[in-house]
Structure 1
Amino acid sequence: MDEESSAERVEFRNGPDQILPASSFKTSDADGAVQLYITEEGVTADQPISIHTMLKANAEEYPKHPALAVKKNGIWKYWTYKEYFDESRTVAKAFIRLGLERFHGVCIMGFNSPEWMLANFGAIFAGGICVGSYTTNSPKVCRHILDDCQAQLVVVENEVCLNKILAVKQFLPHIKAIIQWSGVPSAAGVLSWAELMAIGLAEKDTELNERLSLSAINQCCTVIFTSGTTGPPKGVMCSQDHMTWVAKQFMVNMPHLQTAYEVIVSYLPMSHLAAQMLDIYMACSFTGTVYFAQPDALKGTLLHTLIEVQPTSVLGVPRVWEKMYEKMQEAGASAGGIKKTLGSWAKYHGLNYYKALFNNRPLSWYESNANSLAKRVVLNKVKTALGLSRAHFLCSGAAPISKDVLEYFMSLDMPIMEGYGMSESLTICSMSLLQPGMFRLGSVGKRLPQTIVRLKSSADYKPGDGEILIKGRNVFMGYLNSPEKTDETLDDGWLSTGDIGCFDEDGFLYITGRIKELVVTAGGENIPPLLIENHIKKELPFISTTIVIGDCRKYLSVLLTLKAEVDKNTGEPLETLTPSCQTMMKSLGLNVKTVVDVLDELKRNPQGAVATAIQNGIERYNENHAASHAQKVQRWTVLPLDFSLVTGEYNNTLKLKRSFVMDKYKDIIDSMYPDPMKLGKL
């Protein structure tokens, strides 16, 4: 702990909106306090408020406005903002009664639900630290998270989650109680949600108010554990000021968001910061209504919820938008005659409108009227069918998204704004906006006024590129219990992101690679694989995923997966090719339906139509986009299955786990690097 002990800190009893004295912008201690980056003027001069004060203000100003909605037995059940606030306090009182001490974790594991939100606020109100655990985490990962945050209470959704906790509970003596919010607990000593609420209702407000008086907005209230792509999950520490101030800044950046009007569908994992920011804190900042999707949302039911709710704001990771894009393309390909011609005409004018807007070019009389007609006849119907008729804010984050996907949605009058940030920057850094001069395809937008950004150049990067460094009130506190990693990442308030980027002449930021994902060839050249992978995917539209290989190798090669169907129940990739992929194979003269069929064809005819199409696509990349000889791809292999979260290639935020792929397909990778004297194209 800091030299200033927690015993000395209890003398400060002006909470919950107080700021404790601090001498540093960083800490790795659960009870540590940090300096806030507050200036005398501008957006960073805003008066800090606590999370309790934020929710209380909503409950007092909009007591009857719906805050949460969940569908059970075919009927939507609602919580008003007054009920939201009151029940959060009830949960907090129950947590205190069950033995929760300040600065200890309350770990929540389950799909998004009102109980998840209430447990989050209850933990923070009681002086604890909210910690989410992905439902896909193994018992081993659960143990690491619970131990790192010294969790005293665990809140789980169901028996599946409960069993993961029980499997490691013997190693976690600090756990005082486990609560299960769905169904009837089958394990002895596990409390139901109803029992938890009964405990809280029986308690007076005295102890809770005492905890709130000790609360400070520059201390940790939430820990977001990273997905552990390159090692054990690290705990990103967030203060109350982070949550309330950053949420308010999104309102500042997007003035079209309207108080007490916005509707959100909650479906991305709540253990991820982006989902917490939108579904919990941004929703509170504009007094929105959050509808919870079904647990199998990403397996196919999300569309049904979107159609029923018709949200106004939707956040998606690239994989979500890409799947929608592929399905719509397949539907469009099956249309014929006048319907197909009309659709193409409407999409042309939809895209033309936004290109003119972003280039600050006025539309002609014809263009304006054609766009209006396209909306009425085609585009509005498509938006309604996708559940996006009211959506005025569509956002993509967490990973790069292709230009093709962005242009396609734009042509349908559904422009997706791409943003850049990370858990350590509380999701804020740059963003594209629906304004002239604030959007450029391929860019993640301009630096937001709430952040300071600079590039740290290196001889390893091409001229103009550099590691992105961020400074501001949005930079995280540090990594829980990891002072060395905290010092590596934070220096005098500057956050080293590990991402490589560049600015163009107009101030638009482009992400060109990631330091830890750089491929360093045997010749010593540093190569960012992401750009190569995106170029190859564009050249080969039947390819789902590309992985560039070449670390410590003499040349680059690439792993490819074909677009295939997904099991709607399990989320596992199937061998059956998607209809669009089958159609593209037919255009090559092949009547194939599965990945196995394609692999058999490649084996029988190594110089056949499929192999030639792939090789030609890679040659087009080599000729038109490779910046040097070292960046040319010399060999390739098609893998037997596509990637997925279930099979381990993607993490919980649907980012590619490169190290996992390298280990899983080590033998195949090694086979692409035979004896140097026998090199040749596949």
Structure 2
Amino acid sequence: MVFSKWRQALGGQVKAIITGASACPVRVMRTFNAAGIPVREGYGMTEAAPAISFSRMEPEGALLGTVGPLLDGVEVMLEPSSEFSPGEGEILAKSPGIMMGYYKQPDKTAEVIRYINGERWLATGDVGAWVEGPGGRKFLKITDRKKELLKTSQGKYVAPAPLEAALKEHFLVEQAMVVGDDLRYVTALIIPSQEGLRSWCERHGIAWTELSEMLRLPEVQRRYEMLLERINAHFARHEQIKRFTLLDCLWEPAKADGTEAELTPTLKLKRRVILEKFRREIEAMYR
């Protein structure tokens, strides 16, 4: 009944939803798929038209958490590095759709075009891995942005995207950013889902006042600690989130007051902006 209302709200004729630009939470895709509205992710960039990989509508053509098999005519090589986990590498792509270069910017072009054994490859700056799907088919999984890898003061590399994705899949979390570059351990800034937290409070007999007050309650803090304990169990010790701060705000792609936004137009985190805006909260997690 609920799902039929979803389909009707989308016009009643929707066959599928295509998503890109940033990762779609698996929980969201699973819910829409169950509603009879298939969601498919693709991966590409302007420099590699029309795309690099794409999840198909055909049987066994999609695998949740990946961006699908490669398009016909596209080749991908994963370039390993000590910065990445085993099996991961920077995604290098080769196809007839790879750009000739940035207009009148040969230096910038040279930064992303690699010649390997006489072949021309595009260095995407994304980190990925292969995942074996149904029938042994290879699916590409994006694990992080190369430039976004954190390196703690202990010399350990941490990919923030998987941690942030795990947090945002939970109904209690609206937004999150992992911190830890050149710091002793990994922490997180978490913006709770007001709707999710309100629902949890109602189920546990906690009277709701306003979000800022609710975030200070020991019961609420403990609930988020439990969430982190469950998430941390899936990550290596040096990757685990040791401390967190709950924020009473919302990161946006545009601010009404004219200040710098925390998100890009495609809703990616502006990490530098967030680090600066919440410097005091971050410093408190390392005292």
Equivalent of 2:125 in 491, 498, 503:
498
CA distance in 1, matches of 2:198, 2:82: 45
SS of the counterpart of 1:584?
A: helix
CA distance in 2, matches of 1:519, 1:673: 16
Alpha-carbon offset, residue 632 of structure 1: 1.0
Equivalent of 1:456 in 75, 79, 93:
79
C-alpha contact (below 8 Å) 2:130/2:140 kept by paired residues: yes
C-alpha contact (below 8 Å) 1:582/1:593 kept by paired residues: no
CA distance in 2, matches of 1:619, 1:410: 29
1:385 corresponds in structure 2 to 9
SS of the counterpart of 1:423?
A: coil
Do residues 649 (structure 1) and 262 (structure 2) align?
A: yes
Letter in 1 for 2:281: I
C-alpha contact (below 8 Å) 2:68/2:140 kept by paired residues: yes
C-alpha contact (below 8 Å) 1:589/1:609 kept by paired residues: no
C-alpha contact (below 8 Å) 1:582/1:591 kept by paired residues: no
CA distance in 2, matches of 1:425, 1:524: 34
1:230 corresponds in structure 2 to none
Cα 1:589–1:424 shift into 2, 3 Å: farther
CA distance in 1, matches of 2:125, 2:191: 27
Cα 1:592–1:415 shift into 2, 3 Å: same
Alpha-carbon offset, residue 427 of structure 1: 4.8
CA distance in 1, matches of 2:52, 2:189: 32
Alpha-carbon offset, residue 595 of structure 1: 2.3
Q: Deviations over 1:217-265 (max 9, x none)?
A: xxxxxxxxxxxxxxxxxxxxxxxxxxxxxxxxxxxxxxxxxxxxxxxxx
1:99-110 matches, cutoff 5 A = none
2:226 corresponds in structure 1 to 616
Aligned-residue sequence identity (percent) comes to 31
Do residues 519 (structure 1) and 116 (structure 2) align?
A: no
Higher helix share: 1
CA distance in 1, matches of 2:16, 2:199: 34
1:289-300 matches, cutoff 5 A = none
CA distance in 1, matches of 2:28, 2:251: 19
2:92 corresponds in structure 1 to 469
1:577-588 matches, cutoff 5 A = 577-578=194-195, 580-588=196-204
Q: TM-score, normalised by structure 2?
A: 0.90
CA distance in 2, matches of 1:501, 1:411: 27
2:248 corresponds in structure 1 to 640
Letter in 1 for 2:46: S
Higher strand share: 2
Alpha-carbon offset, residue 553 of structure 1: 0.8
CA distance in 1, matches of 2:209, 2:65: 34
Unaligned 5+ segments in structure 1 are: 1-341, 344-377, 564-576, 675-682
Q: How many residues align?
A: 274
Equivalent of 1:417 in 31, 34, 40:
40
Equivalent of 1:589 in 194, 205, 208:
205
Structure 1 segments (4+ residues) deviating >4 Å: none
Equivalent of 1:660 in 250, 273, 282:
273
Cα 1:552–1:431 shift into 2, 3 Å: same
CA distance in 2, matches of 1:497, 1:454: 11
SS of the counterpart of 2:138?
A: coil
C-alpha contact (below 8 Å) 2:22/2:266 kept by paired residues: no
Alpha-carbon offset, residue 584 of structure 1: 2.0
1:440 corresponds in structure 2 to 63
Letter in 1 for 2:66: S
Q: TM-score, normalised by structure 1?
A: 0.39
SS of the counterpart of 2:225?
A: helix
C-alpha contact (below 8 Å) 1:498/1:516 kept by paired residues: yes
CA distance in 2, matches of 1:581, 1:423: 39
Do residues 545 (structure 1) and 175 (structure 2) align?
A: yes
Letter in 2 for 1:561: I
SS of the counterpart of 2:125?
A: strand
C-alpha contact (below 8 Å) 1:588/1:610 kept by paired residues: no
CA distance in 1, matches of 2:209, 2:34: 30
SS of the counterpart of 2:161?
A: helix
RMSD: 1.7
Alpha-carbon offset, residue 668 of structure 1: 1.1
